[in-house]
């Protein structure tokens, strides 16, 4: 898999480890939530970063007590038609205050890049090299938006009112 971070292809520093594998010493790891919860206390002592793959079928509010211990959150798109991870991303950024890396994994398509970025994802895992190369064009295809989003681009209403974000000039 190729990784796009903040619009640029990058090398993934996190090693994805399944539940039955040993964690590599000194390496940043990305593990499933079941393993994270089962080994939470042992992982607290681990000196290397730990990332969590959060399923879209689980309420995102359950992650709040662990946010201080997590280096990366990966939200899963099991199907391109399943958009629950968009809502999870917005909740993480806007309600839970997550400022760390937020990664989209799973069935990610080029057509979804702009909405993923606007929802708060700063990392996107893609399967095709061509998708990574097309990221910039995909996220700059539209310049006017009706809805406010986590990317802080002003909505059309805010532009018309002369304000870039809520609270500015109010």
pLDDT tens, position by position, 125-151: 987 777 767 776 766 666 666 566 677
Residues 82, 25 share a domain? yes
> What's the confidence (pLDDT) of residue 8?
83
- Provide the Cα torsion 112, 100, 5, 146; round to 10°: 40
Low-confidence winner among 57-61, 64-68, 93-97, 146-150 (lowest mean pLDDT): 146-150
Give 5: exposed, middle or buried? Use CB within 10 Å, 0-12, 13-18, 19+.
Answer: middle
**Residue 75 near residue 88, CB atoms below 8 Å:** yes
Supply the mean pLDDT for the chain.
Answer: 85
List the one residue out of 60, 77, 87 whose CA is nearest residue 111: 77
Alpha-carbon Rg for the chain, nearest whole angstrom, is 17
Beta-strand runs (E) in the chain: 2-5, 8-10, 14-16, 28-32, 50-54, 72-77, 102-106, 123-126
Parent domain of 99:
2-139
32 and 114 both lie in a single domain: yes
Instruction: Write down the pLDDT at residue 97.
Output: 94
Residues 135 and 169 in one domain: no
Which pLDDT does position 134 carry in this prediction?
A: 75
Token reading at 22: 């040993």
Mean pLDDT for 55-59 is 93
CA distances from 169 to 58, 155, 161 (A): 39, 15, 10
Answer whether residue 170 shows pLDDT above 50.
Answer: no
Choose between 169 and 14: higher pLDDT: 14
What pLDDT, on the 0 to 100 scale, is given for residue 99? 94
- Average pLDDT over every residue of 88-102: 95
Tell me the pLDDT band of 67, cut-offs 50, 70 and 90. Answer: very high
Between CA 92 and CA 103 the distance in angstroms is: 12
Domain count, the chain: 2
- Give the domain CATH number at 52: 3.20.20.70
Do 107 and 153 belong together in one domain? Answer: no
Placement of tokens 């938006």 in the chain: 145
> What are the CB-based long-range contacts (under 8 Å, 24+) for 136-142?
136/7, 138/110, 138/111, 138/113, 138/114, 139/7, 139/113, 139/114, 141/114, 142/114
- CA 107 vs. chain centroid, Å, equals 14
- Considering the domain architecture, whether residues 112 and 147 belong to the same structural domain is answered as no
Which of 5-14, 27-36, 134-143 shows the lowest mean pLDDT across its residues?
Answer: 134-143
Place of tokens 């998708």: 131
Both 52 and 72 in a single domain? yes
Mean pLDDT of 152-163: 68
Give yes or no for residue 164 having a pLDDT over 70. no
Q: Is the pLDDT of residue 167 over 70?
A: no
């Amino acid at each position: 898999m190729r990784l796009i971070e903040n619009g640029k292809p990058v090398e993934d520093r996190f090693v994805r480890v399944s539940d039955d594998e040993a964690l590599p010493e000194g390496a940043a790891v990305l593990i499933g939530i079941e393993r994270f919860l089962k080994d939470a206390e042992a992982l607290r002592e681990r000196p290397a970063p730990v990332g969590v793959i959060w399923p879209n079928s689980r309420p995102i509010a359950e992650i709040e007590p662990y946010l201080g211990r997590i280096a990366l959150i990966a939200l899963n798109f099991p199907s391109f038609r399943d958009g629950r991870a968009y809502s999870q991303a917005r909740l993480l950024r806007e309600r839970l205050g997550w400022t760390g890396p937020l990664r989209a994994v799973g069935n990610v398509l080029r057509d979804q890049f702009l909405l993923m970025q606007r929802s708060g994802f700063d990392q996107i895992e893609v399967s095709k090299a061509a998708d990574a190369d097309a990221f910039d064009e995909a996220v700059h295809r539209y310049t006017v938006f009706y809805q406010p989003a986590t990317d802080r681009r002003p909505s059309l209403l805010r532009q018309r009112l002369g304000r870039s974000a809520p609270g500015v000039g109010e």
